[in-house]
Amino acid sequence: MGRERSVRLIRPPRDGVGVVLLAVPRETAYYTFVEIPCEIGGRGFAMHRTGLGTLYHVRVGDAEDCDCDCRGFLRWGYCKHVLGLLALVKAGRL
């Protein structure tokens, strides 16, 4: 049985800043994000979890161009930040 995850673009980037909702089985959180320059492949984003002040640097693209500096990605090689932004990019929403 798979875990249910969802991503919803709450506000497309306006003046460079967007808002996304990431939901995983036991947690739902809002993040603001901005696209940042990425010179090593893929697209770079800075994501700030609202209310907690946690900032994550996320890179999405082809499989070899995806990473995040959160603990989940460092442990498992994937995370909700990468999966969420990647889904929005592939859907043409970002």
How big is the chain by its Cα radius of gyration, in Å?
12
Q: Return the pLDDT at 4.
A: 83
In a domain, 31, yes or no: yes
Q: Return the pLDDT at 3.
A: 64
The residue-averaged pLDDT of 49-53 equals 85
Contact between residue 52 and residue 40 where contact means Cβ atoms under 8 Å apart: no
In a domain, 56, yes or no: yes
In a domain, 10, yes or no: yes
In a domain, 15, yes or no: yes
In a domain, 64, yes or no: yes
Number of structural domains in the chain: 1
In a domain, 21, yes or no: yes
| Amino acid, res. 7 | V
What is the pTM assigned to this prediction? 0.89
Q: Return the pLDDT at 79.
A: 94
In a domain, 84, yes or no: no
Give the structural domain span for 17: 6-76
Mean pLDDT of the chain: 92
In a domain, 94, yes or no: no
